Amino acid sequence: MDFELRILGSSSATPSANRHHTAQLLTIGNQYHLIDCGEGTQMQLMLYKIKHQRICNIYISHLHGDHYFGLASLLSTMHLHGRQTPLHLFGPAGLSEILSLQFRYSGTNLCFDLIFTELDTTAHTLIFEDKDITVHTLPMLHRVPCCGFLFREKPKPRPLVKEKLPDFLTPQQLVGLKAGKDIFDMHGNLLVANKEVTLEPKPQRSYAYCSDTRLNTAIVPWLQHVDLLYHEATFTDDLRERAHYTFHSTARQAAELALQAQVRHLLIGHFSVRYKDLSPLLQEAQETFPKTDLAIEGSIFCVREEDAPAEEQ
């Protein structure tokens, strides 16, 4: 199953000629998850030949324009193209009202169901779950209510070693073995030890998106051993005071958080337009956390099952 991230936009409050406002597309299996939707997002989707009708969920971290001003236009395009599939939208209080106002005055009555979930941006909460993944919010420290998102695969079944399976096992018992259970008789005696007839399951993959925020070490426990972490890095560390004043982070602070959380791979983005050359931001982060990359538009970052660490027993 695919688990890959495409960067659509990585600029901060002001876009530049070659950096758009924040937007990312996370593909998990055949599901498209759009994370933030800054101005120009649908143009980026077209540029990279991504079919917007395949987007199943949209997650808006907060109501600063560089993170959602592209949403109404994207929804309008979906409407004009006759979308029929329901769309799930997750965002902070006020977003539904803003969209209702825009559509009311433009005379737009969406032809598909838009299912809105209002987020508690102050808590670590399960907001979405299907057969493959869970999505939780991550509280951020910003000037307006803001949250990040943690995507994690569900535990996978343990493969059965068929030549070691006793003939007397029922289908229900086989399901139990795949779930990691031992098999006992009616008297509580062990019949089949799980680890003798199964293999270790494929590891669960994970992606964490930390939107606009001051350095917030309170979220470190939820980020432990995440495969891929995106964290905003608006400034270099010589502007740490400005970052604190504007409720943003520096590249070094993003790397410090990644180090504390023992993540496998760090992406930094949300770059201030003052930086025409992004290498100082990358170098600063890599001094603390070497496995760091820039969230360059068009880049794809894959998390492969063989790359993800197996869960510790």
Both 95 and 183 in a single domain?
no
Both 178 and 287 in a single domain?
no
Task: Identify the bridge partners of residue 207 per DSSP, sorted by sequence position.
Answer: 151, 228
Instruction: Confirm whether 50 is domain-assigned.
Output: yes
The 10s digit of each residue's pLDDT in 137-195 is 999 999 999 999 999 999 887 878 888 788 888 888 888 887 888 888 788 888 788 88
Q: Which residues are identified as catalytic? A: 66
Domain that holds residue 167: 162-197
**C-alpha to C-alpha distance for 255 and 263, rounded to whole angstroms:** 10
Q: How many domains does the chain divide into?
A: 2
Residue 312 has a pLDDT of 35
Residue 190 has a pLDDT of 87
* Final residue in a domain of this structure, among 138, 172, 197: 197
Numbers of helices and strands, H then E, in the chain: 9, 16
Q: Is 182 annotated as belonging to a binding site?
A: no
Cα atoms found within 13 Å of the Cα of residue 160, Cβ hemisphere only: 17
Residue 187 has a pLDDT of 82
Q: Is 142 annotated as belonging to a binding site?
A: yes
Q: Is 167 annotated as belonging to a binding site?
A: no
Both 192 and 96 in a single domain?
no
Instruction: Confirm whether 313 is domain-assigned.
Output: no
Ranges of residues in the chain with a pLDDT under 70 are: 306-313
Residue 307 has a pLDDT of 59
Both 126 and 25 in a single domain?
yes
Residue 155 has a pLDDT of 86
